[in-house]
């Protein structure tokens, strides 16, 4: 393997050997060769401030010294055994997850990705309830297996094959574009209440589960109003279903003030799923449930790579750094600072229709007049921020929402730098 290809050589190999569905950001895709803390570097050595973290994943920054040190030690000690054997990293990580997740969540199953974590969660719910009907949300994203695509509420991320039966998509609690054309709180949470009619009219009258993200990530950081989850989950439980909180994007302090996103919403999940930032970039997915629900998971289930000792060690190190450095509180404080700056930009630039999210999960919805989604301005913002060496993400059904998610240990001066770049870029539009 060569380590010294330049960007255009990398691009030509990418074009020739990768499936065309492997899409990249930017007109001229960015080929990255190094990451250190809050920075990544391209093949020509240019430095970029990374405010997207490989989709909310390198949440302690790239190559975090403690995560890397412990992970390298584990690679030299024991690298792989499969779930057929017990390992210290796996059982200790499971114990840690039981200790830091809310309520009675206790028993874990580890996999390699968020897709598999959500698959496992739905499988558990179906086994436990003996029911096949699942409620998901419009604007949700669950991954790229057939089931995960079927759970996903974006046409663009549903390839043929996303047609597993039994899944109904309830309305998203998307207040900026209320699907019922109402306004909170006068709406009295009509979108949540509609789940009851959805169950009564389109299922057998019982459901296995409701799978939802505490803040819809790929959907463009759609943040439900207060009371949404309490109402929705009460209805789900009335019809026999379990509540699965998908913490793939919102977990481990990302939303500030709480370790998990769902803890902001005053409901207790029966199952939670994790991935992305869990191991600061090492591949891992996790699903945790209560003792009682876990009892239904008899029969055989195996994962060759799930619970891999190296990934579990990286996850344990990541979670311990979050705890030791009190990042949950840090994100609450620094997130407020960042949001205030973004609200200032919103009052300056009329194309910023909405600023939403929590902690260091900041969504900026870009619109034309009358709130018409404006993905072409987002593409311009992307080219200009790239020029100024700032990386951010995007999302939303229409591709018109900026997703800004720096590492959790970011400081005020870095936020000031990013806001200055955004201000300059916005001023040029």
Ligand X SMILES: Cc1ncc(COP(=O)(O)O)c(C=O)c1O
User: Shortest gap between Cβ of 213 and ligand X (angstroms)?
Assistant: 5
Name the residue whose CB lies closest to ligand X: 114
Nearer to ligand X by C-beta: 110 or 239? 110
CA dihedral 285, 263, 252, 321 (to 10 degrees): -140
Q: What is d(CA 223, CA 236) in angstroms, rounded to the nearest whole number?
A: 20
Q: What is d(CA 214, CA 219) in angstroms, rounded to the nearest whole number?
A: 12
- Asked if 142 touches ligand X (CB under 6 A), the answer is yes
Q: Is the peptide bond before 185 cis (omega within 30 degrees of 0)?
A: yes
Nearer to ligand X by C-beta: 120 or 419? 120
For residue 282 the two structure tokens come to 């090492």
Place of tokens 């900041």: 362
**In this chain, which of 94, 162, 199, 218 binds ligand X, going by CB under 6 A?**
218
Nearer to ligand X by C-beta: 19 or 84? 19
**In this chain, which of 35, 217, 363, 395 binds ligand X, going by CB under 6 A?**
217
User: Shortest gap between Cβ of 252 and ligand X (angstroms)?
Assistant: 13
User: Shortest gap between Cβ of 283 and ligand X (angstroms)?
Assistant: 8
Q: By CB under 6 A, what part of segment 95-134 binds ligand X?
A: 113-115, 118
- Asked if 54 touches ligand X (CB under 6 A), the answer is no
For the window 29-48, what string marks contact with ligand X as x by the rule CB under 6 A?
--------------------
**Nearest CA to 303 among 280, 287, 279?**
287
Q: By CB under 6 A, what part of segment 236-275 binds ligand X?
A: 246, 248-249, 275
Stretch that binds ligand X, among 62-70, 213-221, 308-316, 355-363 (CB under 6 A): 213-221
Q: What is d(CA 277, CA 234) in angstroms, rounded to the nearest whole number?
A: 30
String of DSSP letters for 370-387:
GG-B-HHHHHHHHHHHHH
Nearer to ligand X by C-beta: 318 or 374? 318
Sheet (strand 209-212) strand order: 105-111, 285-290, 271-274, 242-246, 209-212, 134-137, 167-170
**Nearest CA to 109 among 282, 248, 272, 320?**
272
Stretch that binds ligand X, among 65-73, 125-133, 210-218, 372-380 (CB under 6 A): 210-218
The secondary structure of residue 101, as a DSSP letter, is S
**Nearest CA to 27 among 344, 425, 387?**
387
- Asked if 396 touches ligand X (CB under 6 A), the answer is no
Q: How many residues sit close enough to ligand X to count as binding (CB under 6 A)?
A: 15
Nearer to ligand X by C-beta: 396 or 426? 396
- What are the residues binding ligand X (CB under 6 A)? 55, 113-115, 118, 141-143, 213, 217-218, 246, 248-249, 275
């Amino acid at each position: 393997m060569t380590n010294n290809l330049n960007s255009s050589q990398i691009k030509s190999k990418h074009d020739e050997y990768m499936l065309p569905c492997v899409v990249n950001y930017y007109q001229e895709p960015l080929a990255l060769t190094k990451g250190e803390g809050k920075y990544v570097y391209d093949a020509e050595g240019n430095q970029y401030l990374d405010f997207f973290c490989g989709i909310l994943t390198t949440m302690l920054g790239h190559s975090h010294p403690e995560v890397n040190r412990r992970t390298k030690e584990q690679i030299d000690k024991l690298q792989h055994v499969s779930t057929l054997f017990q390992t210290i990293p796996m059982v200790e990580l499971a114990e840690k997850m039981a200790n830091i997740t809310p309520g009675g969540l206790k028993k874990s199953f580890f996999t390699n990705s968020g897709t598999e974590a959500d698959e496992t969660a739905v499988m558990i719910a179906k086994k436990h309830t003996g029911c096949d009907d699942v409620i998901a949300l419009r604007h949700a994203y669950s991954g790229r297996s057939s089931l995960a695509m079927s759970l996903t509420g974006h046409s663009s991320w549903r390839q043929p094959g996303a047609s597993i039966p039994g899944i109904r998509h309830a309305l998203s609690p998307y207040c900026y574009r209320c699907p019922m054309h109402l306004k909170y709180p006068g709406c009295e949470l009509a979108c949540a209440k509609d789940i009851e009619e959805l169950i009564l009219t389109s299922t057998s009258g019982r459901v296995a589960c409701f799978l939802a993200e505490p803040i819809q990530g790929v959907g463009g950081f759609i943040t439900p109003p207060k009371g949404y989850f309490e109402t929705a989950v009460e209805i789900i439980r009335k019809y026999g279903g379990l509540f699965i909180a998908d913490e793939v994007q919102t977990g481990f302090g990302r939303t500030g003030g709480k370790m998990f996103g769902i803890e902001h919403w005053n409901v207790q999940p029966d199952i939670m799923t994790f991935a992305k930032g869990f191991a600061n970039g090492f591949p891992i997915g996790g699903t945790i449930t209560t003792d009682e629900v876990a009892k239904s998971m008899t029969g055989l289930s195996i994962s060759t790579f799930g619970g891999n000792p190296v990934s579990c060690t990286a996850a344990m190190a990541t979670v311990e750094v979050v705890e030791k450095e009190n990042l949950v509180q840090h994100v609450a404080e620094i997130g407020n600072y960042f949001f205030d700056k973004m609200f200032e930009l919103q009052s300056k630039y009329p194309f910023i229709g909405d600023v939403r999210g929590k902690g260091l999960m900041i969504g900026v919805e870009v619109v034309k007049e009358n709130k018409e989604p404006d993905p072409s301005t987002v593409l311009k913002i992307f080219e200009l921020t790239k020029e100024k060496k700032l990386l951010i993400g995007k999302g939303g059904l229409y591709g018109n929402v900026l997703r800004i998610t720096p590492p959790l240990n970011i400081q005020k001066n870095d936020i000031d730098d990013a806001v200055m770049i955004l201000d300059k870029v916005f001023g040029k539009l």
